[in-house]
A and B are shown apart, each in its own frame.
Chain A
Amino acid sequence: DTAVSQTPKYLVTQMGNDKSIKCEQNLGHDTMYWYKQDSKKFLKIMFSYNNKELIINETVPNRFSPKSPDKAHLNLHINSLELGDSAVYFCASSQVLDSLYEQYFGPGTRLTVT
């Protein structure tokens, strides 16, 4: 009965590689998000999709590219990984139509770039 799930949980890779993180929600929500939590534990939004349409695109390097094949899935692809990309990446979802905007988070993907 997992609500928001992410794979993989851990990702260790070398600089310059390309990697993807996948997210799925079974809550029936219409909006999904990617957040980055850095080493100082600061949580910052990166992207948001509503019904497969990009609605939030923060100041993020264009090496990061989100893709939403349907409203239950949101993936994050990262090209040419850098040391500074090491962080925990959280996916979240919400149901915007009910105007509450309560966001529910997945378990996170800890990315370590060496």
Chain B
Amino acid sequence: QKEVEQNSGPLSVPEGAIASLNCTYSDRGSQSFFWYRQYSGKSPELIMSIYSNGDKEDGRFTAQLNKASQYVSLLIRDSQPSDSATYLCAVNVGFQKLVFGTGTRLLVSP
């Protein structure tokens, strides 16, 4: 069973702080990794994709990938209350099949 593990949270951070979300995966052959944000009652929204080891930055978001440790993380700098949502980690396990984690709920307090 190819799995993606996330801490369900909630992860509570004050406004302006850095939120750090983590994800581990079991399929060592996976090559592409994604972070989705899902607000309550809404659909998942793609916010970051990463394919190579290292960091990838996009605005306040940084995705980090370590294939040797089978670990993906998402950093959100200067967290805002509007960032409060569930963040889903997804791993491509082949044939365009994404396996999702159960998500981490982030709460950013003003």
Contact = CB atoms under 8 A, between A and B. Distances in A.
Interface of A: 31, 33, 40-45, 48, 50, 55-56, 90, 94, 96, 100-108
Contacts, number: 55
B44 A105 contact: yes
Contact of A50 (B46, B88, B90, B96): B96
A96 B45 CA distance: 18
Q: How large is the interface on B (under 10, 10 to 19, 20 to 34, 35 or more residues)?
A: 20 to 34
Given A102-B34, A107-B43, A44 B100 contact: yes
Tell me whether chain A's interface is mostly helix, strand or loop, or mixed. Answer: strand
A102 B100 CA distance: 13
B49 interface: yes
Nearest to A100: B49
Nearest to A99: B32
Interface in B30-64: 32, 34, 36, 38, 42-46, 49, 51
B25 to A, nearest CB: 15
Nearest to A108: B43
A31 B96 contact: yes
Tell me whether chain B's interface is mostly helix, strand or loop, or mixed. Answer: strand
A56 B102 contact: no
B91 to A, nearest CB: 11
A101 B94 CA distance: 10
B92 A101 contact: yes
Contact of B43 (A33, A44, A48, A90): A90
A101 B32 contact: yes
9 contacts: A41-B38, A48-B95, A55-B95, A55-B96, A90-B43, A102-B49, A104-B46, A105-B46, A106-B43
B102 to A, nearest CB: 6
Contact of A105 (B32, B43, B92): B43
A43 B86 CA distance: 12
The 6 closest A-B pairs by CB, nearest first: A105-B43, A43-B100, A105-B44, A108-B43, A101-B92, A107-B43
Interface string B77-110: 0000000001010101001111110110000000
